[in-house]
Amino acid sequence: MVKIGMVIGGRYEIQELIGTGGMSDVYRAKDNKLNRNVAVKVLKQEFSENRDFVAKFRREAEAAANLMHPNIVTVYDVGEENGISYIVMELVDGYTLKQYIEKKSRLTISECISIAIPIASGIEAAHNNGIIHRDIKPQNVIISKDGKVKVTDFGIAKTTTSNTISSNVMGSVHYTSPEQARGGFSDEKSDIYSLGITLFEMVTGRVPFNGDTTVAIAIKHIQEEMPSPRIYVEDIPISIEQIILKCTQKSPDRRYQKMSEVIEDLKKAYISPDENFVKIDTYEQNSVTKTNLDSMYRREKRNAKEAPEVTNPAKEDLVRVNNSPHPSRSLSKDLSNRQNPRASRSLSLSLSRSLQAADISRALRRERIRAIPRPLKR
C-alpha cells in the first residue's frame, strides 16, 4: 500500500497522487539521490499479486526503459519492494490529450495533425525497437506546457490479455483493435488502428463506438462498420477522413502497414488537406464516405433509367414484404427471381427507400439485412 511520504527503492519519496488508471496509479515523487522530480507508476494490488503478470510487467518495462525518443516519456527505473511493483519515469508537467480534447470539445485540423505526427513518431520508434504499445489512447498521450507531445505507458499495455476487458479498463476498450478484442495476435498494425480511433476522437470530440459494457464496445469494434467522421463534422478534409478510415480497417492487411506510412500521409494532409491521395480499395472499405455515397446514388439513378420495366416496383414489393411472415426471405426470393441485374439493383434501391419510409428497418435488421442508406442532402 503506497502512502504519501513513504520512500520507495530507498530514494523515491512519494509526494502526491497525480493520476490513476485501470491497472496502475501514478504519483509525483522526489528522487532524493539526483534531486529531481519524477513520476512513479505503481501497479495496482490486484495485479501485483499475480507473479506471472509482475514478471512480464518487469521484463517489458525494462525493455521500454531502453527507448530514447523525444516523443516518448523516458523510463528511469523499474523495481519491486514489499509487494509494490513500480516504474519511475520522467515527470511531464502538462495534461493528457484526453483532457485537452474534453476542454476544447474537438480540435482543429491543424492541431490534430500537429499532435498526431509526434504520437506516430514515438510509436514508430518503439516499433523499430520491437516494442508494441497495445494501449494507444488519448489518456496515454501527454502534452507538456511548452507544447511537447509524448507517448507514455509502454510496458503495461503489452502484458494486457483478454482478461483485462473489464469495467476496470473501460477507457482502453474504446480504442482497441478488432484482433485485440478477439484476444488474438496483435502487432504494429494494432497500434495503427488505435491511433486511427484517437484521430477520430480528436477531430469529432467523440469515440466511434460506445456502449453500456466493455464487451458490447469490443463487439462493435469487431462487427460494426467504422463510421465516417464526416457524419459528425461535415467540414473534415477528405484526406483526414481517408487516413482515419485506412487506419481503422477491420482487416490488419488493409490498414497502413507501417507507422512511417501514416506519418507520410499526415504530412501530405497538412499541406494539401483537400486532396484525396490516400489509397484505399473502395470495394473493401468498412465505411461509406460521402463521396462514395454520392457516386453510388448517381450510378443507381442511371441504372434505374436504363431499366424502365421496373422503375417503380417499390409499392407492390413493400406490401408483399410487409404481409410476409418472413420479410427477409420474401425480399430475397423476389430479388433472386428477377433476371435483369440492373433491374435488381434499381429495385433494391427504391425498395430500401420505401422500407425506410415505412419504418420497418428494425425488422430488417433483425433478419440481418442491411438496407442501402438514404442519399445525402446536398
Give me the active site residues, please. Answer: 135
Rg of the chain (C-alpha set)? 25
Q: Among candidates 149, 202, 156, which has minimal Cα distance to 175?
A: 202
Q: Show the DSSP H helices in 65-177 as ranges.
A: 97-104, 109-128, 170-173
- Residue 54 and residue 46 in contact, taking contact as beta carbons nearer than 8 Å: no
Q: Based on the number of CB atoms within 10 Å of its own CB, is 75 exposed (0-12), middle (13-18) or buried (19 or more)?
A: buried
CA–CA gap between residue 178 and residue 196 (Å, rounded): 13
Cell of 80: 519491486
Strand partners, 40: 27, 88
- Residue 11 and residue 33 in contact, taking contact as beta carbons nearer than 8 Å: yes
24-31 and 36-43 beta bridge pairing: antiparallel
Query: Which letter, b or e, does each residue of 230-241 get, where b requires 16 or more Cβ atoms within 10 Å of its Cβ?
Result: beebeebbbbbb
The DSSP code sequence of 296-326 is HHHHHHHHHHT-GGGSS-HHHHHHHHHHSSS
Strand partners, 86: 42, 79
CA–CA gap between residue 96 and residue 41 (Å, rounded): 15
CA–CA gap between residue 287 and residue 244 (Å, rounded): 11
DSSP 8-class letter at 372: P
CA–CA gap between residue 137 and residue 159 (Å, rounded): 16
Q: Show the DSSP H helices in the chain as ranges.
A: 45-48, 51-64, 97-104, 109-128, 170-173, 178-181, 188-204, 214-223, 238-247, 259-271, 290-305, 314-323, 327-336, 341-357, 361-366
